[in-house]
Structure 1
Amino acid sequence: MNVVAPLTSALNVRDQFPAITGWHYLDSAATAQKPQAVIDAIATAYGRDYATVHRGVYERSAAMTQSFEAARGAAAALIGGQADETIFTRGATEAINLVATCHPRGDRNRVLLSQLEHHSNIVPWQLAGYEIDVVPLTQDGRIDLDAAEAMANETHAIVAFAHVSNVLGSILDAKRAAGVAHKVGAKLLLDGCQAVPRLSVDVADIGCDYYAFSGHKLYGPTGIGVLWGRKELLDAMPPYQGGGAMIDRVTFERTTFLPPPARFEAGTPHIVGAVGLHAAIDWTQGIGLDTLHAHESALVRDCRDALRGMNDITLFGPDDSAGIVSFALDGVHPHDIGTILDDEGVAVRAGHHCAQPLMDHLGVPATARASFAAHSDASDIEALLRGLHKVKRIFG
């Protein structure tokens, strides 16, 4: 049995997560558990404070509108953007669909993606009629930006990459990726779902054009996400959906629309989702993203070292992956691994992780994936190892 020493840098926040008592939750890359502060903010917003936004002239509606727009400001500030460039969506998936549908592409009809993209950064481009060119990976599982630079050309409207891979945990050199896109007149969209919960992000410093992330991976609620876009790009885009709240004037003959971000937020928004997201942002910033990243990096290092000691385990991705460890056990399907680990009180992800092209590239049908968060500690790795030894005994 491999023994993992307690982390000297371990965060002492486990007791703030009521859902994980007596449970080793290693599936934070799929969705993060919620700290009590976020749960309380959501309960209060649905209870004492609840009202609609933007329409009411009564005091509580005005107060809720103020809270909703304060959440927008917090989401913008989190990634170094401005509030009037920040759109609330149902999640990163909708954010990418919005750009794929509405970005003015002119006579450019190609998008440059990478081998490791999540389906949410593949399928929207297909539905929007783009032709896709695929950038290969380096040997250790990073997007090969040398290859991307050689491939990018004036037919590409968009370069769209994951800032952090949801399977491999590899971190993109986002600033260089922006240079690759802009050199040929393309725009860079970054899928920040796995980056925003664990890395400091500054869209101005990166130089990207669009940035998408979801709330539920950032310790916030489901059903809320963010699209940041450069103001001049959003101003040039037509509405994504039609309805209330995004109009200037409606007649049966013609409708005019509000400027962004309202233009892209048709209908009653996920008011409480925004409030919960704001609470999650405040919670993570109270800890500090640099601290979170250092904590998760130490766990990843210890976990990979322990798994490397099991000679029938194959590890995927680089050693400095951000919060994620994907692996395969010889002769055992990841679904069987996940089921047996569940019996031992350990939750990992098992499957293709919405990245089937990457699985094809890796030559496996699926992987098992352990992913860490603020509440994770050495006991989670110990439980994972105990469970894997049980898997080996059963299948040995």
Structure 2
Amino acid sequence: MSRRPALDGLRAFAVLAVMAFHTSPAAHGGFLGVDVFFVISGYLITALLLREWSRSGGVDLKAFYVKRALRLLPPLLFMLAVSLPFVFTWARDQLTLNPVIAIASVLLYVANWANVWVNEGTGIWTHTWSLSIEEQFYLIWPLVLIGVLARRKKAPAAGLVVLIALVVLARWVGVANSDSFLWIYYATTSHCDGLLLGSLLAVLLNRRDSLARSGRQSEIVAWAGVFGLAALFATSHIETSDTYEWRLPMAALFATMIVHHLATRKQGPMVDLLSLRPFVAVGMVSYGLYLYHFPVFMTVQSRHYPHLEQHALEITLTLALTVFSWFVVEKPALRLKDRLAGAPVAPVTVTVALPGPATVEAGPAGMAASAQALAAPIIGYAPPGGVGGPRV
């Protein structure tokens, strides 16, 4: 799967929207950037798995999970180490869970459920709820996908449509029967439709060559997605019920329209724009920006600096941590991951038991080197001083 710089450019706009949301009331719709990340991640992870299955007749799950760990864990551990002193000093009032439990929930990727259990109890780590949803997806979806492929030789498009409908329905039911949107927003069962839509896009592109050979109409559809997202960003508020009734799925749908175009076209106005070096550079370090901006922003805001000084500190400290992490923490781990991708893989079989006589055997082939293009987990967000909805 060839690298698509324009997808990095799309990540850049998504993370900048979320960062703006966390520091400026004017960016009240920026939280929807998370759902853009969900779509990108769902598409890339599924496309990679399908490509490996087509190439080798199996999926090396051991290599898959090792490489995901090398990509995700080193900067996450660094973020926890850097922010831990502030949990016991300036930002101590934000953490309402026991610190050991909070750290465990982050490291075990169940922070979203911890934030449902105790109202946003993980404090300056609350943003890791979205990493948790994505990691849960990484854990479960490959097993489901190879199980279906082993039985039917065809990826489950219809099943994905049903799951998306159930997730949207779960939000509708939650809005109608609850005064709090907390669990609706953080629960995996009611906020994973973006991941599923991205996966559905990958499945359909894998099945139908006509969808992959998009022409001028793809550019038109993609720009419609851009304007649709822009309208949602300008008018959405995280604490209103219509966000959960229809704005979240519409944001994911518009993002899917854009990702389809960027994944199938190598040139054109939108591809060229999003492939500009500044956007690609921001997109490439977007995982670091995800991780570090929220603890920095929340800690700085707790000191009640004047607005100009606050924003200067937020941006400067976040950029410093992100650049340091990229060169000292992430790039060494990525080099190791790439060596694993290029090295011969010893035969490893992962067998998944299924009802009936069928089993799934993951073959020995490793991931392609282009796995580096996989989306990093997405971020969380919080309205500064927001009322009525999830803070992050």
Q: TM-score, normalised by structure 1?
A: 0.27
Higher RCO (CA-CA < 8 Å; seq separation 6+): 2
Q: TM-score, normalised by structure 2?
A: 0.27
The structure in which a higher percent of residues are strand is 1
The structure in which a higher percent of residues are helix is 2
Radius of gyration: which is bigger? 1
